[in-house]
Structure formats: C-alpha cells, structure tokens
Amino acid sequence: MKAKDERLPIWTLPNRLSIIRILFIPLIILCMENGFPFSSFLLFLVAGITDGLDGFMARRLSMSSKLGLYLDPIADKLLVSSVLITLTYENLVPLWMTILLVCREFLINGLRAFLAYEGIAVYPSFTGKLKTVFQIIGIACILFDWGSGLLRNTLIDKIGLYILYVALFFSLYSAWYYIAAIFKPVVNNESQ
C-alpha cells in the first residue's frame, strides 16, 4: 500500500480498455437474456482478454495511473458480478456461491475506497489476480457450454463450475489477506 505519482493523462489506452469492458456488460447480459448465449460467450471472452491486456499494457508501457488503479478492478468486478448474477438466474451457478463472490467484492471495494479517501492506495494481491483469472475462465466455460447448445451439466459446464470453486477459494483467501493487511497496523499500534 502506497501512493503513486500521477504523470500520465487520464485516458491512457489501459483505461480505455477498462471502459470498453464496462460497456460490454449490458451487451453480454442482453445476449444472455434474449437467447444468444454464444454471442454472450464471445463478448465475455473479448472482455476477459481486455482485462489481461490493460494490465499488461499498464505495466509494460509504463501507463499505470491512479484512475486505472481503481477503474480496472471496478470493471472486473462489474463484469464478473453481473454475469454471475445472470448465470444464477438461469440456474447455472449456485446462488450461495454468487452471494459469497459478490459480497466479497463489495467488502473489499468498500475498504479500498475508504483507504483511498485516507490517501492510501491498495494494490491487488497475486491471489486476488488469480481469483479474477479463475472467475473469467470458469464463467467462460459455463457460457460456452450454454451457448454451444449442448445439454446443461456436460463436462465443460462441470469444469467451469469446478473452476469457480477454485476462484471462490482464492476470493475468500485474498479477502482475508486484504483485511489482515489493512488492520495489521491498527493492531500493532494498539498493542504498543
């Protein structure tokens, strides 16, 4: 956790990719709800690729910005949460899993926003990034299975669900990591 200098313009290419990812969300949901699940799979796949691309570009091309620090995770969480909720509505993902995953996102984003207000930037952990990767892969598998016209509960669908269980593990673990890191200084100061 530390502050970063802001020397780049706001609308860097990585930030534009995050905005594109957010704009894809209504299209993905509309495709899912109007009988075009394979189109939703393709759009979700493109959105998932932009997630990897914006982070890669920000690091490799030195285009990291304060806006990107908050915009990228918000775009990820909006994308994953909205598609998970829709998959739950379609009885493709268990409700309890979606509730845990979405609640974790609200909790961590709330803590991040509070700390940002205090001038402290919280950077994503490696397990948090793994969680996002597994969520995107698991959701993509389920969307592919649904969109390809195969019967539900096929091998691809089950693999997608198992990958979401792995994502849930990393989600809860990274939440514990963030909370421990955030409150560790408070505990140390109170014990002295």
Q: Is 140's pLDDT higher than 60?
A: yes
- All domains in the chain, ordered by first residue: 13-191 (1.20.120.1760)
pLDDT of amino acid 150: 56
Task: Find the mean pLDDT for residues 158-176.
Answer: 94
- CB–CB of 69/63 below 8 Å? no
- CB–CB of 108/74 below 8 Å? no
pLDDT of amino acid 167: 96
Q: Is 178's pLDDT higher than 50?
A: yes
Q: Is 153's pLDDT higher than 90?
A: no
- Which contacts (CB < 8 Å, 24+ apart) does range 159-163 have? 161/93, 162/138, 163/134, 163/137, 163/138
DSSP 150: P
pLDDT of amino acid 7: 56
Crossing angle for the helix pair 126-147 and 37-60, to the nearest 10 degrees: 160
pTM for the full predicted model: 0.82
User: Across all residues in the chain, what is the average pLDDT?
Assistant: 83
Q: Is residue 187 exposed (0-12), middle (13-18) or buried (19+ Cβ within 10 Å)?
A: exposed
Least confident range of 8-17, 73-82, 136-145:
8-17
pLDDT per residue over 36-81, tens digit each?
Answer: 888 999 999 999 998 888 777 777 777 777 777 778 888 989 999 9
Residues 7 and 62: their CA atoms lie apart, in Å, by 10
- Which contacts (CB < 8 Å, 24+ apart) does range 94-99 have? 97/164, 97/165, 97/168
Q: Got the DSSP string for 35-66?
A: T-HHHHHHHHHHHHHHHHHHHHHHHHTT---H
